[in-house]
Amino acid sequence: MKKERSGFAVMARLIGLVKPLTGYMVLAVLMGLAGHLCASFITIFGVFGLLRVLGLGGPLPLPALFAAAAVMALARGLLRYGEQACNHFIAFKLLALLRDKVFAALRRLAPAKLEGRDKGDLISVITSDIELLEVFYAHTISPAAIALLFSAGMTVFIGAAHPLLGGIALAAYLTVGVLVPLATSKAAGGAGMEFRRRAGELSAFVLDSLRGLPEILQYGAGGRRLAEMERRTAELAEHEGRMKRTAAFNAAVTNTLILAFDLAMLFAAAALCMAGRLGFAGAAVATVALMSSFGPVVALANLGAGLQNTFAAGNRVLDILEETPVTAEVEGCPATGFFGAKVENVTFSYGDELILDDLSLDIPQHSVIGVAGRSGSGKSTLLKLLMRFWQVGQGNVEISGRSINEVNTADLRAMEAYVTQETHLFRDSIRANLRLAKPGATDGEIEAACKKAAVHDFIQSLPQGYDTPVGELGETLSGGERQRLGLARAFLHDAPFLLLDEPTSNLDSLNEAVILRSLGQESTGRTVVLVSHRRSTLRIADRVVSVERGRLS
């Protein structure tokens, strides 16, 4: 899922996301430009006042100069506030939009492209990486535009005194605002991307450790796990330290260059004044104007090292947004109901690992097909292909006599209910977890589904009944209880095509018998594909097939 992009490519894509908020961005740039002009001309008006005191004239009387400086000081504060308010509104609005886009992309990519992906790393992208883009949207785009416009205006203003002085000012702005950040960015190399990668790995390690705390404590592995966490943290801190040293060096170089250009302007103005080619007033104003006008370009110079980290975060976010799913959403096809399914000569591989080899299976409507076989033989993969989670390599999967690739995804999800070996429960109540299958379900429908899954009596025995929280990942429930809730979801979904992957693997014989009786009753008017290792479970099947090494036997 990783794609290398240049800093300019990342910046262009991130800027493109600002389009819906262009008006606010223009307003921020105009207020920022006006604010910096006010800040610089406060000092310039001070020079005009000094010249007036020395009897060398000036554009305005002394009281008017003081009044103008006071007005600009007040305006500077108000404009600065307005600029920052617009920039941060843009930033946080875009962060919300980005998170929405990322979640939409993850839904589109799931489950195929997310299998095996570190969940901690994904959390790092959704939280810290997107949060880091606030620096780009609030402190980079408009400051860059402001620096460009401000530098151009000040170059013209200083150049009006003498072209040589205007050239020095232009060289100063280009060096500090363009060359320094580019050189710093190049010197940082891939440090930003490496830092974000290590931060994501650390997040994944911490999340994995928290989830595995019982096992860590049981086997006395806490010391080793903590040592590994400290090692990774130290490496990340060292990496961040190198980036901060680069930023500090960048700041030192920037300040040195500013001092050098200030001295160059002073000496050049003095030389022109002594040669009679420039008056004292013009020399003083031009020199002070340059000295007071580095604010916008210094802001760009300071971004040089930090932008590497920001662009690395942006690159990781764009990796998700631009990733293409294994199976795209199907829309616009004629609506269809369920009238049976068929797998014809299907060959499928995960990478180079062959899973299914020329497998064919007919699944008539209103039948119960049992699928047996050893672990790794391709039974679960067969169900995923029927759900169109993966795209078949060769052959064809049909639903109701139509290729599954020509069935609207919404129709497919409505006609199929899939129960996996591990039921995922959200950190919410039992009722809310069940309503995932049917948001508008009544309490009566929920209870009926739970009775079929032999879990209603258990729920009723809980202090809060159906409103009982299940904890993170359903940690307050046993494996069997979670599995029965997964079955209840499938019954509540009320789909005509049930795909069950080891639905009784965590159940005792009594609960298995209750659920098998429910499945037998539910199979009337439904079609069921039942994957199981248990012979007792497969007894309800009308026909049992065995999958060995990707083939039916």
Nearest CA to 102 out of 133, 125, 132, 136 is that of: 125
Q: What is the pLDDT of residue 219?
A: 78
- Distance separating alpha carbons of residues 309 and 306, to the nearest angstrom: 5
Q: What is the pLDDT of residue 188?
A: 64
**What phi and psi values does residue 113 have, to the nearest 5 degrees?**
-75, -10
Nearest CA to 242 out of 178, 277, 190 is that of: 190
Q: What is the pLDDT of residue 363?
A: 95
More confident residue, 535 or 175: 175
Q: What is the pLDDT of residue 216?
A: 86
pLDDT band at 404; cut points 50, 70, 90: very high
Q: What is the pLDDT of residue 174?
A: 92
- Distance separating alpha carbons of residues 13 and 26, to the nearest angstrom: 18
**Comparing 53-57, 333-337, 416-420, which segment has the lowest mean pLDDT?**
53-57
Q: Encoding tokens for residue 184?
A: 């710093």
End-to-end C-alpha distance for the chain, whole angstroms: 37
Our measurement of the distance from residue 154's CA atom to the centroid of its chain's CA atoms, rounded to an integer in Å, reads 40
Q: Is the pLDDT of residue 2 over 80?
A: no
Question: 386: burial class by Cβ within 10 Å (0-12, 13-18, 19+)?
Answer: buried
pLDDT band at 254; cut points 50, 70, 90: confident
- Distance separating alpha carbons of residues 241 and 247, to the nearest angstrom: 10
**Comparing 171-185, 354-368, 492-506, 509-523, which segment has the lowest mean pLDDT?**
509-523
- Distance separating alpha carbons of residues 34 and 45, to the nearest angstrom: 16
Residue-wise DSSP of 352-404:
TEEEEEEEEEEE-TT-EEEEE--TTSSHHHHHHHHTTSS--SEEEEEETTEEG
- 60-64 long-range CB contacts below 8 Å, 24 or more apart? none
Nearest CA to 405 out of 498, 333, 297, 319 is that of: 333
Q: What is the pLDDT of residue 340?
A: 93
What is the pTM assigned to this prediction? Answer: 0.68
Q: Please, which residues have CB within 8 angstroms of residue 43's CB and are 6 or more apart in sequence?
A: 288, 289, 291, 292
Q: What is the pLDDT of residue 519?
A: 75
Q: Please, which residues have CB within 8 angstroms of residue 230's CB and are 6 or more apart in sequence?
A: none
Q: What is the pLDDT of residue 503?
A: 83
Nearest CA to 158 out of 31, 261, 275 is that of: 261
Amino acid at 40: S
Q: Is the pLDDT of residue 214 over 90?
A: no
pLDDT band at 120; cut points 50, 70, 90: low
Half-sphere exposure of 523 (CA within 13 A, CB side): 20
Q: Is the pLDDT of residue 432 over 90?
A: yes
User: Which residues of the chain does CATH 1.20.1560.10 include?
Assistant: 7-322
Q: For residue range 498-521, list pLDDT tens digits in order.
A: 999 988 777 777 777 777 777 777
Q: What is the pLDDT of residue 74?
A: 94
Tell me what percent of the residues of the chain surpass a pLDDT of 70: 94
- Distance separating alpha carbons of residues 191 and 199, to the nearest angstrom: 12
**What phi and psi values does residue 519 have, to the nearest 5 degrees?**
-65, -40
Q: Is the pLDDT of residue 546 over 70?
A: yes
Q: Is the pLDDT of residue 1 over 70?
A: no
Our measurement of the distance from residue 268's CA atom to the centroid of its chain's CA atoms, rounded to an integer in Å, reads 52
In whole numbers, what is the pLDDT of the chain averaged over residues? 85
Q: Are 144 and 300 in contact (CB under 8 A)?
A: yes
Q: For residue range 58-68, list pLDDT tens digits in order.
A: 677 888 888 98
pLDDT band at 155; cut points 50, 70, 90: very high
The CATH label, of 3.40.640.10, 2.60.40.10, 3.40.120.10, 3.40.50.300, for the domain at 341-552 is 3.40.50.300
Which DSSP letter does residue 429 get? B
Nearest CA to 307 out of 447, 455, 140, 439 is that of: 140
Q: Encoding tokens for residue 63?
A: 């009281």
**What does R_g of the chain's alpha carbons equal in angstroms?**
34
Q: For residue range 265-298, list pLDDT tens digits in order.
A: 999 999 998 988 888 888 888 899 999 888 888 8
Residue with tokens 């499938």, as numbered in its chain = 490
Omega before 111 within 30 of 0, i.e. cis: yes
Q: Is the pLDDT of residue 305 over 60?
A: no
Q: Are 106 and 320 in contact (CB under 8 A)?
A: yes
Q: Is the pLDDT of residue 336 over 60?
A: yes
Q: Are 133 and 317 in contact (CB under 8 A)?
A: yes
Which DSSP letter does residue 279 get? -
Q: What is the pLDDT of residue 306?
A: 60
Tell me what percent of the residues of the chain surpass a pLDDT of 90: 32
Q: What is the CATH topology of the domain spanning 7-322? A: ABC transporter transmembrane region fold (1.20.1560)
Residues 316, 322, 328, 334, CA torsion sign: positive
**What phi and psi values does residue 362 have, to the nearest 5 degrees?**
-100, 130
Give the pLDDT mean for 371-387: 89
User: Which residues of the chain does CATH 3.40.50.300 include?
Assistant: 341-552
